Amino acid sequence: MPVITVNWWQGNDRKARKDLVTGITDVVTRVSGCPDEAVTVIVRDVAPDHWSTGGRLADETRPPRGRR
């Protein structure tokens, strides 16, 4: 019974989350052979000021919303 956790920046809407969990579930069921009901996907929204890459907080380097 796979459990997948996804951490991504907060601000994604419900449709984006739905598309993400549907796609992940499809891949896991195809690869593992387990039924959809056996796959759990946990999506965690993380604020950019709680995310760091290369020693810099993401809110310092992230382009403003809508300018990606």
Q: Indicate the domain borders of the chain.
A: 3-61
Q: What is the pTM of this model?
A: 0.80
pLDDT digits (tens, 9 = 90+) for 10-57: 999 999 999 999 999 999 999 999 999 999 999 999 999 999 999 999
Using DSSP, state whether 37 is helix, strand or coil: helix
Active site residue 35: no
Pick the closest to residue 48 from 7, 14, 5, 19 (CA basis). 7
CB 29 within 8 A of CB 66: no
| Domain 3-61: CATH superfamily, name plus number | Macrophage Migration Inhibitory Factor (3.30.429.10)
